Amino acid sequence: MNTLLRCAPFLLLMACGGGRKAVETPAPDPAAQRPAWVGARPLNDAYFIGIGMANKNRPDVLETAKKNALNDLASEISVKVESNSLLYTLDRKSQFDETFTGTIRTSSNEQLEGFELVDSWESASEYWTYYRLSKAEHARIKSEKKAGAIRNALDHHARSGQSIGSGDLRTAFDQELRALLAMKEYWGENDAVDMNGRQVQLVNELYASLQKLTSNVRLTVLPERCELSYGNAFKRELLFGAAYANGGGLRGLGQLPLIITYPGTGGKVTELKNTDAEGRARSTVQRVDPGAKQLEVLAKLNLEELIGSGMDRSLVNALVGSLTAPEVHVPIDMRMPRVLMRAKETNMGRSVNDAGIALVVREELTTKGFRFVDREAEADLLLDLNAATRQGGESSGFFTAFLDVSYAFRDRKTQEVVFEGGKQAVKGVQLTYEKAGLESFKKAIPDIRKEFVPGIMNAFN
């Protein structure tokens, strides 16, 4: 009984409490768990800091957050372009555009090493990551990499010197470019090294050596003027020479790529040539447009062909574009033939004067340098031109005429036909046969202008 009484209060308490609802603990607020580094950027003099975020709706959320964090970290690594660096010099000369210089200055973004993950955090929609890089570790890694780049660059530079010493400019140029590219991450920095007993800024020295390789090339040509005439069938062979000036002497440059251009009857003519073992290259100039504004042959060092495979073209093209390619200009002297023209033109049997084809032919040839003479003994070429109209019929008060044109150039000495052509049945319609004939002459003139001189020049070549 006593036992039951002692338990009664406990049983009563249980009975009363059985009707109450359980107290629910509220879920934690994600924002309350947000780390301090997500809301405010940490400050640490010993480390570079990188914070990156990516939305979870991306399939590559982790990689994107890391990439953004490392980009953020890299932006903290200030890059100062030193006033005695190559990048500063080329910027001052306005030879590199902003895109190029920006690429060089931020190239370290993709070369980060030694960074470490500090923390990460995610909410329902975002993923955050926090990286850092020891400034001391970064300086150590950079110093080691730079020392390796310097050794690599000096090796390429030495190979370049050996190649040009043997007259191989192609290999020398390739090796000097590779020396510069080995140092591309440091084009904006001081990089003083000892070279042959003197302190130099390495990258500037390499660039100067690259410039010297092209500026010391000497191009020559024989003959110095290219004379084209009827006597040589408007063809002339030119002999180009390429040599390297070093120490007061000249050494022939074999397998040197040249680009040779001149105005042709069908447009600009471009030839790619390589010099032989003795540094010589031959080119035959022919089919030159006598009406070109600038009559000359231009031969220059083809820098594009000196660029080896496997190089970063965006960097190399900017470097090579800042160089001056040696070139040689050869004036073209066109000696057009002397022509005696014998023309017979009729319209319905009557002679045609200013309305005919002969006047147009004379004007067109004169503008291209042809010279007309009155005596056969003075002529190189004899031009026989015949043009005549014929009746084609009448319908509803309109008359049709057809014009037949033929011409032939003959060598005065051999009497051989050099070039011939013509137009047949050029149609004209007017109110009379005579007017229809004159109309056919008008229609024929544009085609004669367009085809006559190019046809003659191609025939000579």
Q: What is the CATH number of the domain that holds 412?
A: 3.40.50
Q: Is residue 22 part of a domain?
A: no
Q: Which of 137, 163, 183 is the last residue of a domain?
A: 137
CATH of the domain at 276: 2.60.40.10
Model pLDDT for residues 396-408, shown as the tens digit of each residue: 999 999 999 999 9
Domain final position from 215, 239, 268: 215
* C-beta of residue 423 within 8 angstroms of C-beta of residue 461: no
Q: Mapping DSSP to helix (H, G, I), strand (E, B) and coil, where does residue 115 land? A: coil
Q: What confidence tier does 3 reach under pLDDT thresholds 50, 70, 90?
A: very low
Which tens digit of pLDDT belongs to each residue from 314-363? 778 878 888 889 999 999 999 999 999 999 999 999 999 887 899 999 99
Q: Position of tokens 């002529």?
A: 379
Number of domains within the chain = 4
In whole angstroms, what is the distance from residue 442 CA to residue 294 CA? 32
Q: Are residues 167 and 234 in the same domain?
A: no
Dihedral sign from CA coordinates of 375, 376, 380, 383:
positive
Residue 407 lies in a domain: yes
Please indicate whether residue 194 or residue 87 has the higher confidence score (pLDDT): 194
**Is 29 inside a domain boundary?**
no
Share of the chain above pLDDT 70, in %: 86
| 3-state secondary structure string across 150-215 | HHHHHHHHHHHHHHHHCCCHHHHHHHHHHHHHHCHHHCCCCCEEEECCEEEEHHHHHHHHHHHHHH
pLDDT on residue 14: 41
Residue 18 lies in a domain: no
- 244-253 as b/e, with b when 16 or more CB fall inside 10 Å? beeeeebbbb
Same domain flag for 298 and 203: no
Q: Do 387 and 278 share a domain, yes or no? A: no
CB 228 within 8 A of CB 332: yes
User: What dihedral angle (degrees, nearest 10) is formed by the CA atoms of 87, 92, 94, 96?
Assistant: 10
The residue among 119, 137, 155 that closes a domain is 137
Residues 189 and 227 in one domain: no
Same domain, 189 and 223: no
| One domain for residues 355 and 437 | yes
pLDDT score at 8: 42
Q: Band of the pLDDT at 450, cuts 50, 70, 90? A: confident
Residue 376: what pLDDT?
95
Do 209 and 221 share a structural domain?
Answer: no
Q: Residue 88: what residue type? A: Y
Residue 120: is its pLDDT beyond 90? yes
For the chain, what is the mean pLDDT? 86
Please say whether the dihedral angle defined by the alpha carbons of residues 288, 294, 296 and 297, taken in this order, is positive or negative.
negative
Residue 107: per-residue pLDDT: 54
Query: Considering only 13-17, 346-350, 351-355, 429-433, which range has the smallest mean pLDDT?
Result: 13-17
Q: CB within 8 A of 289, min separation 6: which ones?
A: 263, 264, 265, 457
Residues 180 and 225 in one domain: no
Taking each helix axis from N to C terminus, what angle separates 202-215 and 135-165, rounded to the nearest 10 degrees? Answer: 20
Does a structural domain hold residue 185?
yes
Q: Indicate the pLDDT class of residue 13, thresholds 50, 70 and 90.
A: very low
Residue 346 lies in a domain: yes
The burial of 213, by beta-carbon neighbours within 10 Å (0-12 exposed, 13-18 middle, 19 or more buried), is given as buried
Domain contains 87:
yes
Q: Are residues 386 and 449 in the same domain?
A: yes
Same domain, 383 and 447: yes
Q: Give the position of tokens 């990286």.
A: 131
Give the mean model confidence (pLDDT) for residues 131-156.
Answer: 93
Tell me which of 190-204, 239-253, 263-277 is least confident: 190-204
φ, ψ at 107 (rounded to 5°): -65, -20
Distance CA 213, CA 177 (A): 11
DSSP state of 31: G
pTM higher than 0.75 for the full model? no
Residues 180 and 221 in one domain: no
- Which token pair is 148? 């390796």
- Give the least confident one: 162-176, 186-200, 322-336, 342-356: 186-200
Residue 422 lies in a domain: yes
Domain that holds residue 437: 338-460
CA distance 225 to 296: 9
Q: What is the pLDDT of residues 204-229, one digit of tens each?
A: 999 999 999 999 999 999 999 999 99
Are 152 and 172 within one domain? Answer: yes
What is the C-alpha separation between 188 and 88, in angstroms, rounded? 7
Q: Is the per-residue pLDDT at 29 higher than 70?
A: no
